[in-house]
Amino acid sequence: MSKAFPLVLSLSSLDVARDDPELVEGSKDELGRSWFDRLTTSGAGVLALTVLAATACNRTPETPRARNLVLITIDTLRADHVGAYGYARAQTPTLDELARTGVRFDRAYAAAPITLPSHATMLTGRYPPGHGARDNGMAMPAVPTLATVLKAKGFKTAAFVGAFPLDHQFGLSRGFDVYGDRLGRDATGRPANERPAAQVVDEAIAWLTSLPAPPAPPAFFLWVHLFDPHAPYGDASAGRSVLERYDEDIATADREAGRLLKALGPRTDTLVIAASDHGEAFGEHGEYAHSIFVYDTTLRVPLIMNGPGLRAAVVSDAVTLADVAPTAARLLGVDLPDVNGIDVSATFSGRSLGTRELYAESFAPLVEFGWAPLRAVRSGFWKYIAAPTPELYYLERDSAEQTNVVSGQEVISRSLSQRVNQFSGDVLAGPGPSTDPKVTERLRALGYLSASQSATTRADPKDRRERAGHVGRAPGRRTDRRARRHRA
Ligand SMILES: [Zn+2]
């Protein structure tokens, strides 16, 4: 054990642990201890972090500027199923080319493995406690987003989304001149809960075409959300494996992303950011799909930035999707207030971000089952998961998070437990999930909200794998989806 974790065993007290720059990354730089010590609640933390984000901005005066922003989010896309991330069987030429000529973040993590909270983090720069959408169906209150800030600066803004969790009623539509979330009806005539990427991209291209032409084109922000890789995967009737069908759905989304980029034409003044909102589990930790657990199976995502002045680079520093909005804002020359993330553009020129602590959570266990929520903090190679039975992993040697070392690492566990509590408590404040039965029904049809919310005991989700592991599989949509796919 001492060989495996020499840093921890050299410590004799919690205070020492908190001051060790290798043990608790960030403790001695601008993102370090004072950053955390001022974090008492999500709101206070957001305000404290704003100062630090601004500091980070000021240190990169040479940061290139872009005029427009295109954000492409491909739902449920694991980084390790993208060619640029080393996947041998990848069918992702669009993402691969963006990465080849842009900046690829090798260690990017969602703040929640759930569609609405994760997208809300991308658009606000806040962790879920800061934006309030802790689970699908929980509307985000009126907090500043990239869309609201850019619209206030005169940008034309539009979003086109592919699934019901991002419906306008959940709050992400604020700031968009156009919010395309009409999903049509499924084969049975009921309101559809998703739609194919081709339809989303058709609408996005039509909007781009509608913009005033040169010599005075407006600056714009376009967000396009492609849902295809979400379960169920493809057409099961041909006998192909689950992973083959998953890859085919990824290929569809990638192809449509390529069609969108082609329609943009020369992108000399447009920043393109491509990301996923979360990964997908195929049995790891007993989980299938996503949303309950906070292992890197579902937290690690692809994140690629490509735009004017950005040279090809691979960033190995750990980043969070909360960094997307402040970085985009910086590159567009606007300020986004009250963020948890930072401007990471310093990495474009090879500089390190220093060491940081990144937060992630899933409150789906609480909201959907009445179980304990899962909260995690990543600090260097350590990752701590707050749960009734807490977990600690040393990711450098255990990237699959197989060996819980809490019992041998009491000091670091106690320190990270305190820190995770500073990001968020284990209860929800404010309004809970939607009480609209129609909303609940549609979320359930996508595999969410699959159990009663009335449970009073807080079970550990990992002690309920038999139920938790299959949330999001959403049986019963196959026929409808195939029908839509063929129409597309
Ligand atoms: Zn999603």
pLDDT tens for 51-103 read: 333 334 444 445 668 999 999 999 999 999 999 999 999 999 999 999 999 99
Query: Which phi and psi angles does 274 have, rounded to 5°?
Result: -120, 135
More confident residue, 393 or 46: 393
At residue 213, the pLDDT reads 82
> Strand 220-226 vs strand 68-74: parallel, antiparallel, or unpaired?
parallel
The mean per-residue pLDDT over the stretch 320-347 comes to 96
Q: What separation in Å is there between the alpha carbon of 115 and the centre of ligand 1?
A: 3
In sequence order, which residues have a C-beta less than 8 Å from that of residue 243 and are 6 or more positions away?
Answer: 282
Question: Does residue 456 surpass a pLDDT of 50?
Answer: no
What number of residues does the chain have?
A: 488
How far is ligand 1, taken at its centre, from the CA of residue 229, in Å? Answer: 9
Strands (E), 25-168: 68-74, 103-109, 156-160
Q: What is the per-residue pLDDT for 147?
A: 98
Give 140 Cα–ligand 1 centroid separation in angstroms.
16
Cα separation, 167 vs 163, whole angstroms = 7
191 secondary structure, DSSP code: B
Tell me how far the alpha carbon of residue 101 lies from the centroid of ligand 1, in angstroms.
Answer: 26
Percent of the chain with pLDDT over 70: 78
Q: Calculate how far, in angstroms, residue 114's C-alpha sits from the geometric centre of ligand 1.
A: 5
Do the bridges between strand 178-180 and strand 103-109 make them parallel or antiparallel, or are there none, so unpaired?
A: unpaired
| Confidence category of residue 393, pLDDT binned at 50, 70, 90 | very high
DSSP state of 235: -
Query: pLDDT-based confidence at 177, cuts 50/70/90?
Result: very high
User: How does residue 369 score in pLDDT terms, banded at 50, 70 and 90?
Assistant: confident
Residue 439's pLDDT is 75
Within 8 A by CB and 6+ apart from 251, the residues are 91, 92
| pLDDT > 90? residue 457 | no
What's the gap in Å between 227 CA and the centre of ligand 1? Answer: 7
> Ligand 1 centroid vs 315 CA: distance in angstroms?
24
Sequence-ordered list of residues with C-beta below 8 angstroms from that of 88, at least 6 positions apart, any chain: none
Ligand 1 centroid to residue 59 C-alpha, Å: 34
Q: How far, in Å, from the CA of 7 to the mean position of ligand 1?
A: 37
Q: Measured in angstroms, how far is the CA atom of residue 351 from the centroid of ligand 1? A: 31
In this predicted structure, what is the pLDDT of residue 437? Answer: 73
Q: Are 472 and 445 in contact (CB under 8 A)?
A: no
The rounded Å distance from CA 160 to ligand 1 centre is 15
Q: How confident is the prediction for the chain on average, in pLDDT?
A: 82
160 strand-pairing partners? 180, 224
**Residue range 326-340: average pLDDT?**
95
User: Mean pLDDT across the stretch 40-54?
Assistant: 35
Q: Would you say 150 and 462 are in contact if contact means Cβ atoms under 8 Å apart? A: no
Between 64 and 232, the more confident residue is: 232
The pLDDT-based confidence of 236 (bands split at 50, 70, 90) is confident
Which tokens sit at 359? Answer: 């937060």
- Ranking 19-23, 264-268, 316-320, 460-464 by mean pLDDT, the lowest is 19-23
Give per-residue pLDDT as tens, 301-322. Answer: 999 999 998 999 999 999 999 9
Picking from 70, 68, 100, 63, the residue whose alpha carbon sits closest to that of residue 82 is 100
Instruction: Say which range, 75-84, 392-401, 435-444, has the weakest mean pLDDT.
Output: 435-444
pLDDT at 128: 97
Distance 299 CA to ligand 1 centre (A): 11
pLDDT digits (tens, 9 = 90+) for 113-133: 999 999 999 999 999 999 999
Produce one character per residue of 281-314: b if its CB has 16 or more CB atoms within 10 Å, e if not.
beebbebbbbbbbbbbbbbbbbbbbbbeebeebe
What's the per-residue H, E or C state across 370-423?
Answer: CCCCEEEEEECCEEEEECCCCEEEECCCCCCCCCCCHHHCHHHHHHHHHHHHHH
Q: Tell me the pLDDT band of 217, cut-offs 50, 70 and 90.
A: confident
pLDDT of 167 above 70: yes
Strands in 290-390 per DSSP E? 300-306, 313-320, 357-362, 374-379, 382-386
| Ligand 1 centroid to residue 3 C-alpha, Å | 39
Q: How far is the CA of 352 from the centre of ligand 1 (A)?
A: 29
Cα of 167 to ligand 1 centre, how many Å?
Answer: 13
- pLDDT at residue 444, as a whole number: 63
What are the residues whose beta carbons fall under 8 Å from the beta carbon of 340, sequence distance 6 or more? Answer: 45, 46, 49, 125, 126, 127, 130, 320, 322, 359
Span between the terminal Cα atoms of the chain, in Å:
56
Lowest mean pLDDT, pick from 30-44, 122-136, 180-194: 30-44
Task: Taking residues 186-191, report their average pLDDT.
Answer: 88
Residue 277 CA to ligand 1 center (angstroms) comes to 5
CATH architecture group of domain 68-353: 3-Layer(aba) Sandwich (3.40)
Q: What is the pLDDT of residues 356-366, one digit of tens each?
A: 999 999 999 99
Q: What is the pLDDT of residues 140-155, one digit of tens each?
A: 999 999 999 999 999 9
Q: Is omega for the bond preceding 215 within 30 degrees of 0, making it cis?
A: yes
What's the gap in Å between 1 CA and the centre of ligand 1?
38
Of 125, 66, 86, 90, give the one whose Cα is nearest residue 305.
Answer: 66
Cα 297 to middle of ligand 1, angstroms = 14
Give residue 40's pLDDT.
28
User: CA gyration radius for the chain?
Assistant: 21
Q: Is 39 helix (H, G, I), strand (E, B) or coil?
A: coil
Q: What is the pLDDT of residue 310?
A: 92
Looking at residue 163, the DSSP 8-state letter turns out to be B
Give the Å distance between the CA of 21 and the centre of ligand 1.
34
**pTM of this structure:** 0.83
